[in-house]
Amino acid sequence: IVLQEEQRGTGHAVAQALPALDGFDGRVIVLYGDTPFIRPETLERLAASDAAVTVLGFEAADPGRYGRLVAQGDTLDRIVEFKDATDEERGITLCNSGVIACDAVLLTELVAGLSNENASGEYYLTDIVEAARKKGLTAQVVTCDEAETLGINTRAELARAEALFQERMRAEAMENGVTMVEPTSVWFALDTYISRDVVLGPNVVFGPDVTIESGAVIEAFCHLEGCHISRGATIGPFARLRPGAELAEDVHIGNFVEVKNAILAEGVKVGHLTYLGDADIGEHTNIGAGTVTCNYDGVMKHRTTIGANAFIGS
């Protein structure tokens, strides 16, 4: 992490970070922390470009105040910031995402030559394209879908980005064979992994680190985080699985049951109103309603072990 004490433009920001790359001989990609949707495939295309400088661009439905890419085909001549653009240049719809790939040694040289003689009085990283072209070097545009370059500057934009992310995750899940009763009510985390032929009821929420194997059913209004659910298990409705919940095949978790840091072996049934924390439950054991594994003494948590084929009354 490098701190940019004074905010004097994107070129200035990169200049602050370049000392961290001393001795590095390779291609550098400059990314932005508020653009989370750029795909790995897009970055691979940037890295594979043999141009001296490569810029990620997109065709904008509404170019607005984006910088414009002045290009001939894939060959990029220069980037013009909106404030400095002529009316003709503002008519260009090929826009600058801000993402740039460049050889580390050349990047250091080009950034050192930047000037702040522009409408904002800032050092624009984008000016390295024109500087490279003046040196007789090649500059190229790699394009991506506009949605990949979506930036987040406000809480409202964060909410729109979240909605876009959820829409993509739902579509991908259904494409991979997951059934969702009401897709728009299911909320995924970035790393949610669900196998084929899983059924998700409405209003299911996934926190980080959840894996569900084939044939499992997650009923309505369940909240899952940090858990692993094996084949044929049924969860819910109104169940909560917390980090460390490990459910073997054909486990049944019923309504208003919470499981935390517990291992439930094959065929365990936990039907109603129960809390299982820090516990090991043997196969085919039946846990009655209202059961609590209460194993915290105020300082330490002690593990509860219940064997196979046991019956715990209500």
pLDDT tens-digit profile of 212-251?
999 999 999 999 999 999 999 999 999 999 999 999 999 9
Mean pLDDT for the stretch of residues 117-133: 89
Fold: same for 10-149 and 176-312? no
Beta pairing, strands 228-229 & 217-218 = unpaired
Mean pLDDT for the stretch of residues 62-78: 87
CATH number at 176-312 = 2.160.10.10
As a whole number of Å, the CA-based R_g of the chain is 27
CA angle 192, 198, 199 (to 5 degrees): 105
Query: In terms of residues, how long is the chain?
Result: 314
- 3-class SS of residue 104: helix
Catalytic site residues? 272
Beta pairing, strands 279-281 & 304-306 = parallel
Question: For residue 153, is pLDDT > 90?
Answer: no
For residue 117, which amino acid is it?
A: E
Per-residue pLDDT at 300? 92
Mean pLDDT for the stretch of residues 121-130: 91
Question: For residue 77, is pLDDT > 90?
Answer: no
Distances from the Cα of 148 to the Cα of 37, 42, 63, angstroms = 5, 9, 15
Residue 224, H or E segment: strand 223-224
For residue 71, which amino acid is it?
A: A
Question: For residue 81, is pLDDT > 90?
Answer: no
**Please, what CATH class does the domain formed by 10-149 belong to?**
alpha beta
Domain boundaries, the chain: 10-149, 176-312
Residue 237, H or E segment: none
Q: Which of 253, 255, 247 is nearest to 273 (CA)?
A: 255
